[in-house]
Structure 1
């Protein structure tokens, strides 16, 4: 018998708390680290020698986190089971010399990050969030709370907007308002620095993004819907983190190393030191194998027997645009996470992966749905093909179905985040 919405609500409430704690990738990594600490995981320094032997461990690199459970029975050829996700979301990032303004308005210079739906960010109460770096290399997480808006031009000044559509030039029209008054009296960076107990002169570098401040909300006639920002891809980050922690505390005996990897920069191509195309996961797995006494050949044998579950949000069928979806495979909310399939390997799922995903969902008592794109509407991609290519690990692409992906505020079914986490837990700890 499948679990229902009442049973998945505690997970949804915890997911909402995770979203609110994670306005930037750096905050998401810090919140994951806090939860891992509470679950008895030990933080490791990448520049130091790592302990050997069984244990729960993790590392944080910028806005990415990798955590793993090494069982007492692990040997030089013990394989890995990896749940992969990403912590970043499309939006806007603060430019250098960010304080601008005109005609009595104070504004901030921002740059487009990834592929956000521009119009969804208009007329919302937004905040700045991210990290500040001082000359000594120390980092400070900051968030402003509600501070800025992208104001839309009134309909009285754009009479054709509803009939002709809205066109936004990101350089001209997407300069958020942060206040009013003389430009010489304003200092966006100084304001951020003050929140960290610093001055603007103390800050020599920063990575600051724009985030929606509206809290997550349960919607629908029967509370069957859930709306929030950044569900692409905090839904998978949270699901994988919860699955790993539950695996660690369940007492189950593992015959593999269970891994959770949440990367940064997926929305801009993953080609960074903390992105999936970088060496971070490869290095961690190699060091874990080396600690088990593995030779290079032993490590390759371990990888050949390993699995990766690449979890990233997908598309639910849109009731107003059904023609944009495959006419047969049309996923709906609350019917389980998606198995994402693409003939051109934009998703890494193959027949063996589909079988493994079916097994994990069956073990968890969770339904799932297939997703494939309309042939005339090419799909995006995920960390799945990158991980499969870089490591040679057989990989499955999955994720919860959303409406409004890349909007400032996305919509999913209230059951689906919990379903995904339960399936991920069954993937990390297969029943004997």
Structure 2
């Protein structure tokens, strides 16, 4: 039961070193389950009972399972994000050091724990644009071998390092690529060879570092899982699995996974873009419905914003709120914030609580300490484009934004069950009568 989901999750993450790969692999799963790919630049034909998906920028994806009885319908959405904190390779990346080393110039993407990137095998992956005749084509690339490493400085050269060190991204975080035999141009040549194209055909690169360490299931009862990118590919994979397992015939059931959450979502493919609104509105029009019907449907709709949450740290329990703290393997987390960084409110909490009771899934509640700033996620950002009831949920984890994070074996199963029940539930089950 748990093992099958964890096996699928680790396989998915292993094949998804970047948001581009994650979106492609989510699309492959959808295609295998009978979903037809749409192109934003082409005319759409969407029919009741149909299954479709569409991508934007090759890094965000939205899928729709369209019900057949849509006289009075709504949208049911489970949303997550495809990106994780990492380091992006700069355009002119190669830096020679005294003709003895070649390192690569990078810059930070998102808020990572820098110390976790040292002294472990790394590689590079992402999207490359190549010229094919008079056209350009985007291609995925993954140098699937131990290629790079960011070496720590020996304690003998920094005796005070264990008392605290401030990492400089331009100095400390540059990966070693080669030795004295490496020359400028070798990196681009390697990428061209990986793609099987001429070096001159490579016209643009969106490349990122990724951690090569293999996933590990560990603990006294094998209750923990550690691997890269659990935030947020754990939610992306489990919410997709739940989406595929359930559907309401009176709804347009939607799975969404957005890029760029870790840097604010303010891109053409992020949650702050028009991608979700455009997709829902075009679907509504293709079904022969007008603007009035779209807004009526949106008013009855509901979104699960799925992004992982901070579990109580075993060495620092004081860092979490005493009464609103969560633990690994004890259920899905509902996240709330008085300043509205999370979308959860009394209405959405009541609805989701009922769904989890029906699914026999345990629920936990998280709030930040009132004297500490917390993070944010994509829920309230997406709602600025298309408004509906929404709740922010996630799975508890340790070491968020580490290059090797830890979560619970049971919790992935809980998310699949709850999301499946959400999509199976009738419209009435996700609605609350307004105040009289």
Task: State the TM-score, normalized to the length of structure 1.
Answer: 0.95
Which sits farther off after the overlay, 81-90 or 132-141?
132-141
Instruction: Check 1:137–1:393 CA distance in 2 against 1; reply closer, same or farther (3 A cut).
Output: farther
Given the alignment of the two structures, is residue 345 of structure 1 paired with residue 344 of structure 2, yes or no? no
The answer to whether structure 1 residue 417 and structure 2 residue 416 are counterparts is no
The 1:106–1:186 alpha-carbon spacing in structure 2 relative to 1, beyond 3 Å, is farther
In structure 1, how many angstroms separate the alpha carbons of the residues matched to 2:112 and 2:119?
15
1:63 alignment partner in structure 2 = 59
Equivalent pair of 1:240/1:421 in contact (CA under 8 Å): yes
After superposition, the Cα gap between the structure-2 partners of 1:412 and 1:253, relative to the gap in structure 1 and judged at 3 Å, is: closer
Map of 1:292 onto structure 2: 287
* Distance (Å, rounded) in 2 between the aligned partners of 1:199 and 1:108: 21
Q: Deviation of residue 239 (structure 1)?
A: 1.1
Structure 1 residues not aligned, in runs of 5+: 1-6
Which deviates more from structure 2 when the two are superposed, residues 215-224 or residues 382-391?
382-391
2:384 aligned counterpart, secondary structure: helix
In the TM superposition, what is the alpha-carbon distance from 1:183 to its structure 2 partner? 4.9
Name 2:433's counterpart in structure 1: none
Question: Is this contact kept in 2: 1:341–1:397, CA < 8 A?
Answer: yes
Partner of 2:141: 142
Post-superposition shift, 1:270? 0.5
Tell me, in whole angstroms, the C-alpha distance in 1 between the residues paired with 2:348 and 2:248.
23
* Structure 1 contact 26–63 (Cα < 8 Å) conserved: yes
What is the CA–CA distance in structure 1 between the aligned matches of 2:420 and 2:322, rounded to whole Å?
Answer: 32
Structure 1 residue 405: deviation in Å?
0.2
Quote the Cα distance in structure 1 between the aligned partners of 2:147 and 2:413.
32
CA displacement at 1:185 relative to structure 2: 5.4
SS in 2 for 1:9: helix
Q: Distance in 2 between matches of 1:29 and 1:142?
A: 14
Shift of 1:201: 1.7
Shift of 1:376: 1.1
- Cα-to-partner distance string for 1:365-422 (whole Å, 9 max, x where unaligned): 1101000000111111111101222211111000001100000000011111121121
Name the structure 1 match of 2:5.
11
Determine if the alignment matches structure 1 residue 36 to structure 2 residue 35. no
> 1:199-218, aligned counterparts within 5 Å?
199-218=198-217
Match of 1:223, SS?
Answer: coil
1:238 aligns with 2:237: yes
Equivalent residues in 2 for 1:336-375, closer than 5 Å:
336-375=331-370
State the Cα distance separating 1:202 from its structure 2 match.
Answer: 1.1
State the distance in 2 between where 1:52 and 1:161 align: 59
1 CA distance for matches of 2:67 and 2:280? 14
CA contact 1:131–1:206 (8 Å) conserved in 2? yes
The answer (yes or no) to whether the contact 2:227–2:404 under 8 Å persists in 1 is yes
Distance in 2, matches of 1:322 and 1:415, equals 22
Q: Is the alpha carbon distance of 1:373 and 1:32 closer, same or farther for their aligned partners in structure 2, counting shifts above 3 Å?
A: same
**Which residue does the alignment assign to 2:14?**
20
> Structure 1 CA distance, aligned partners of 2:363 and 2:177?
44
Residues paired across the two proteins, number: 420
Q: Deviations over 1:206-228 (max 9, x none)?
A: 11111111111101011000001
Corresponding residue number in structure 1 for 2:434 = none
Residue in 1 aligned with 2:169? 170
* Equivalent residues of 1:88, 1:267 under 8 A apart: yes
Indicate the SS of the match to 1:227.
strand
User: 1:274-353 maps to which residues of 2 (within 5 A)?
Assistant: 274-353=269-348
Q: Which residue of 2 aligns with 1:152?
A: 152
8 Å contact kept, 1:387–1:395 = no
**Aligned counterpart for 2:402 among listed residues 399, 403, 407:** 407
**Structure 1 residue 254: deviation in Å?**
2.0
CA contact (8 A) 1:387 1:393 kept: no
Counterpart mapping for 1:169-188 below 5 A: 169-184=168-183, 186-188=185-187
**Aligned residue among 389, 392, 404 for 1:397:** 392
Superposition deviation, residue 8 in structure 1: 1.7
| Contact 2:321–2:368 (Cα < 8 Å) also in 1 | yes
Instruction: Return the offset for 1:259.
Output: 0.2
Unpaired runs of 5+ in structure 2? Answer: 430-436
Deviations 1:306-350 (A, max 9, x none): 001000011001121111110112211100010000011100000
Whole-angstrom CA distance in 2 between matches of 1:118 and 1:52: 46
TM alignment of 1:221-236, pairs within 5 A:
221-236=220-235
Contact 1:8/1:419 (8 A) holds in 2: no
TM-score computed with the length of structure 2 as normaliser: 0.94
Name the residue aligned to 1:3.
none
Whether contact under 8 Å (2:248, 2:425) holds in the other structure is no
- Checking the alignment, whether the CA contact within 8 Å between 1:99 and 1:189 is kept in structure 2 is no
